[in-house]
Structures are given as structure tokens and as C-alpha cells.
Structure 1
Amino acid sequence: MTLSEEEQKILDYWDSISIIKLILEAEKPLGRYQFTEGPPTANGLPGIHHVYSRSIKDIILRFKFMEGYWVPRKAGWDTHGLPVELEIEKELGFKTKKDILDYGIDKFNEKCRESVFRYIKEWEKLTERMAFWLDMENPYITYENDYIESIWWSLKQIFDRDFLYLGKKVVPFCPRCETPLSSHEISLGYENITETSIYITFKLLDPNYKDVKIVAWTTTPWTLLSNVAIAANPDGRYSLVEYNGEKLIIATTLLDTVLGEGNYKKIREFFGSDLLYKKYEPLFPYFEHLSEENGYVVITADFVNTEPTSDNISTGFVHIAPAFGEDDYNIGQEFGLPF
């Protein structure tokens, strides 16, 4: 008997004794250990990565069951989100949101509902074959009213306990779909591209750095209007140099990359933390008043890279615009930068 045949024999035995039913009905002394399956989208085929993640989940569930916990293994199906909608858009040949509106939102939603369980047999087969024991007969389905109402109920409980607050968050936005995107949805179409970048200088206003400019590098020059800070690596080493009659500050390890070997004269070296809270002149005059609100200041951040790599042509400084980019917003909150 082959290994595959031996596995199938064991699976058949578990099925004959209704193993999942036995697990769900078992009396366990330590009480409940709740598990709700992070639901897959069944309008797409399962992949090997689902086997990896489910194997890790299953190890925990079996361990907690053997410890003496009752472990309800609630299955689920994700029937919302862009993956479902994009699949139907492709089928119907739609290119824009207007196509959906012309077709009819109700008709489009119905098409989506029809598609969400397209590959449910393949998902059930995978689940059974890898012995990932789930209560597949009583799954939660995200488009059903019971589930939707449970989300509203949960939000109401959070609100009543004063755990909700109004804040801001930078999120990716799709101009074609006219909607914010989750990190998962971004990954569906993520690709590396070559982008035009620029170097730009910021003149320091500190008397100890008279006529000295910080050199920053960016691939998003359209965000410079919203610049309110420059980030340096606190532990990185930076050099003040003379170059073409100007005094510039650049990360020491990146001097040759940016200015060219032998094209500059080094004056002195220091750490990025030595520049903390140094003020600089705004690039544009429109928001000069923000200088009085902790704007146009050098801050420090660990995510700033000062090491040379094959694709790193930065200067060791990052221009910060809290309204553009998650890192910018988070560091802006940390340092109390204007938004």
C-alpha cells in the first residue's frame, strides 16, 4: 500500500466515525477555546499557501483539544470584497465603475453572489484531504444577514464601551474602483516599477549650520507641497561636505553614490540624532505658519536607510508628508507633526 493510499484509508476511517461531530460534541473540562476560520474566497481555487496556513492553525487546534478544551471549529466563506467583484468585471468585460452603474448595481451584486461558491467543491476536497477538521455544515457566510448583523452588533458593543474613536489613517486608494484598498487587495496587483526620482535640498535655519542644506531624495515629488519634516536615521553617520560651492549633509556611506567619488570635501561627521529638532526653511511659502506648530523640523526614524545597496540611490534623509504614506503618518503622530 502506498503512502497516499494509507492516508486515504485513515481519512475514510475518520469519516466513518464522524470525527468532526465527535469533536464538536465532546465534553471538555477546561471550557471553550474559540476558533473561527479566517474565511477563504471560494470564487478562486485553493493554493499550496492555504495548505501551509491551515496546517499551522490545525496544530494549535489539535493541541488545545488534547489539553482539554472544547474547540468549536467554525468554517466560513468570504463572499465580499474586490476579488469577487473583479472576477465578475472580467467576465462581463467591464473596465470602469460607470460600466457597473450602467449595467445595474442589483444585477451586478446578484452576479457576484452566484460566483462566490464557484470552487466550493475544490475547497471542500482540499479541506478533507489535508484533514483540516472544520464544521463545514454550519459555516458563517459574510453576505448573509445574520453575519452582517453580527458585525453591527459587535461595533455597537465596542461603541457602548467607548472603545471607538475618530482618527485618520492613510490607505491605498484605487482611482478606477473609486474605493480604498486593503493590503491584501494591493498585493493582488502589486508589481515593481521604475519611477523617476529627484534630489532636493532643504536649508537649515540653525546658526550652527549656517548656509547648510540637507539633501533628500524622493520618488514622489508631487508630495513635496505637503512636506512638514525630514527624517534621519538616529544611529546613522552623516557628513557635512562642500560640493560645488555649497555645504551639504548626506549619509556618509552614500556620499560617493550621490556626489561621485572625489567630487566633494568632507568638513565633519556626526550622528543623525545630532540633527534632531533642527528647523529648516519650508520649500514653499504657502504653509509657513506650520513652522510654529512643530513643522519643518528634522526628526529621526529607524526606517531610514543609510546603507548602500544595488538599488539604493537615496541620501539617508526621507522627506515626510504625513498625508501621504503610512510610515509618514505614523511618524507624524509620534512626533506631533502638523497634518
Structure 2
Amino acid sequence: MPIWRSEDLKEEKIIGSVEELISEIEKIIAAGLMSQNPFEGFEVGNMSEENYAKIDLHKNIVDDIVLVSESGKPMKRESDLIDVWFDSGAMPYAQLHYPFENKELIDQNKAFPADFIAEGVDQTRGWFYTLHAIATTVFDSVAYKNVMSNGLVLDKNGQKMSKRLGNAVDPFETLAKYGADATRWYMISNAMPWENLKFDVDGIDEVRRKFFGTLYNTYSFFALYANVDGFKYEEKEVENRPEIDRWILSELNLLVKEVTEFYQDYEPTKVARAINTFVNDNLSNWYVRLCRRRFWKGDYSEDKISAYQTLYTCLETVAKISAPIAPFFMDRLYQDLNAVTGKDTAESVHLTNFPVANESQIDTDLVEKTHLAQTITSMVFSLRKKENIKVRQPLQKVMIPVLDKKTEEQILAVSELIKQEVNVKELHLINAEEAAGLIVKQIKPNFKALGSRLGKDMKMVAGEIQNFTNEQISTLEKEGKTEVAGYEISLTACGNFYQRYPQVDGSQRRQSNCCTRPDHHRGTKS
């Protein structure tokens, strides 16, 4: 501590800078208590590294400096140490050499307080505390606005890693084999940062194949045909593009909007999962798969140009919003894309502006009906697999229960696409009454939502919800709420609906009929 006290402890001096210390040393040399200035040659006001290399402020040097009090008594430095975490707590100012340099960065809140800090929970009484303690004492301010306290990295069985147990994973070997981006994406997408992570290298390999591999293959598909056709990017009105282009751009802008909110809320896990879903389910498995013929055809038509522009926009935007989590891969993807078009002047994705969602390009109705098409297609494929009916075998009919007119109209709007995807001749939409004899409905309560409201009555209400009849569930679906034991229960309190189907008998098998019901409440999980 820079505190000098007299032997009787009645006088003390607190030194706030090297300049002050040198001034005091000159006084004691004049008083005859010291013969030589240990900091001789140091130039006050010169902030260069060369100048500061001339002095040593370590304990063994400053302890030999004896100052003189106002009454002429010798003063020695306080020998006790302050908690060393206070050194770390001074980091926001010490790193800027405040107040001797960069004073405006702290005083004008340009570099202080921090938006967030991240450390383990064991720093609660250490770094987390001392940062705030110094900031509030000196500046009457917090030192940071948010804190992310990360959990532990455990082995794949949930055990703490240790050399003794032989379950420790060498991080350098992991990075060398799988790369930093795949490792980081796996860790962020697999568990919230504040939760403990069960670390399994097989999971990294899966991320590398299913996410990075899919994204790379999508880029390779684009690059192959774009190079053949000599594609040059130029803006085209989105409203004049085919419906499938407008759909993927709607999904893209919804993704940007969602991801932006997640980043701002310090929810990187939700960011990674949302991007992963978009790349795998929407971009690769749906858009590119359905648009392949547009890229294959020989003539360089407006339709083909629109497909190129749309896919380019998707890839470029994904690179930008994913860059904070996968900085190396996304920078290479961005640079490879931009090398062809010269669309951006920035040399790196990290020097570009973060994308902003274009609300005018979001067509909610188009997104909803395409989601219905995706859901119905997936469910029919599942039924085919369950009944061991191959996709190449055409089905005569698929029966789809619908609850409202809007859903019926949306399904009809994409009916041709669904029939083509699942290889079926007819879609038969049936209402709730017609579906009553075909579907046995079940409902699963959302215990988290119920518990926060009902307390001790939660189990009783949840039990009644689980025993709802088909009619009660239909009423809940239709009206959005119902009453149970005096409590009003909404759809959000009933997390998931399930349907069981009667066993398909022999005659039905021969007719190749299937019955499925799409979840028209998109994203209803709570």
C-alpha cells in the first residue's frame, strides 16, 4: 500500500503518483535522511515505456524509502498488504493509466462502466466485488452492467475432470483436431454459459459435420454454379422475386431480429441454436433442396439471378450474425463471398456492421403457411417410416385435421407443394368433429408455468389437465383457455399436445391413407 506512517502512528502520507513520491524523496534528501534518489533520471510527465523502465516500484525498492512527516519525523511504508483482488478491481482504470492518460475515457463514460464481465462464480467475493467496491467509492458508479458467471466443464458423464480419474480432455489436442470454432460452437450451443457443461468430443464432431459441414456444402453449391454463370451481385426488388425467395428472406430477417435480441440479452446459446435451425432446416433442407433446378437450368434468367441473389444474401448474413461465435470460419466465408462480388469494402466480417432486420421483407402469413408445409411434410415422412411405406410409393390420401379457417386456407395454399414433397395424390382436410373418431388427444401440462401461478395447487390442477377428454382439449384449442378447479388455464399453461392414432387395419394399409395433424401454434412451448 502506498501509505507511509510515523513510528507513533500519529502522522501518515498517502502517495498517489510517482511524481508525488519523487517530490517527497527530494524533501528527505534535503533533510539528510537519504543520500541518493532511486528514481533519478525519471522524467515526470513522460509516459513512454522507456521512461518507466528506469524505475522499479516493487516492495524491495520502495521499502527502503523513508519519508519525513510535517513535524520532521521519519515515516516508513505500511508493511501490511491489502487484498490483492483490489489490484484486479482497479483494472478499468489501471489499463488506461488513469488519471495520467486517457482521462476522458473514464470521466465521460466512454470506456466505463463495462457492458459485461465473465468469470466463474468463485469470483463473487473477489473480482466481482472489488470492481464494484472501487467504482462506487471513487466514482459513485457500478463497474459493470452485466455479469455472466460461467459453470464448470465436466466430463461426458457429469463428473469433474481430473488427472487422477483419467477423464480430463486435453484442450490443445481438441483444438488441433476439431478447430476452435467447432469447439466454441459446441460449448455455446450445448448449454447456457452459466450452466455446467457435460463435455463430449463426439458432440464437437457432430457440430462440425451437421452445422459447419452443412453451411460449407451450401456455400460450395452456390459457388459452383455462381462461378459457372459469372454471377455478379446487384440489388433486385424483393417483392418481385418468387415466393420461395420471399419466404427464406422473411425467415432470414426474423432470424436477424431474434438473434439481435438474444445477443443483447446475453443469451449466446439461443443465438447458436437459432442459427443452427435456420441453416439446417430452412436454408439447406428446404430452400436449397427445392431450388436446385433453378440453379441447374442453362439459361441465365431473372429467376436464376433471383435465386443467386437470395442465397448470397442468406450466406452473407449468416456469416455476419455467426461471427461472434465462430470468428475464423465466418470470416473466411465472408471473404470468399465478397471476393466474387466486391459488394462490401470491408476486409473482414469483423469490420462490417451487424445486420439489421428489414421488417418490410417479413411476410408473416408466408412464413406460417410454409412452416405448416414443413411440419406436415415431416409428420407424413414419420408416418411413412412408422408404417414402413417408402417415399417412392404414392399415397392415395393424407387426412389433416384443422381447427380453424385460417389454418385451412394456409394449408390449401401450399397443398401442391406438400403433395409433391410427400408423394401423395390428395390432401383431405377434416374438421374437429370428423377427426374425433380418428384422433385420441393427449395433453402435457407446463409444470413451470403452472407452478409459478398455482403453488401447492399445481399438482392437483396438472393432474386434471392430463385427464382432459378429447372434447375438453378441443375446447381449449378453440377458445385458448378453460377453467380448472377455479383457475383459468390458458394454452400457454399446456405446453405440448399429442395425438395418438388408431392402428391402421389391413384395408386402410392397402388404401395407403395416413392421418396427421400439424402444430399450428408455432413456437408454443410455455
Same fold flag (TM > 0.5): no
Name the structure with the higher strand share: 1
Larger radius of gyration: 2
Interval containing the TM-score (normalised by the shorter chain): under 0.3
Between 1 and 2, higher relative CO (CA 8 Å, sep ≥ 6) is seen in: 1
Name the structure with the higher helix share: 2
Normalising by structure 1, we get a TM-score of 0.26
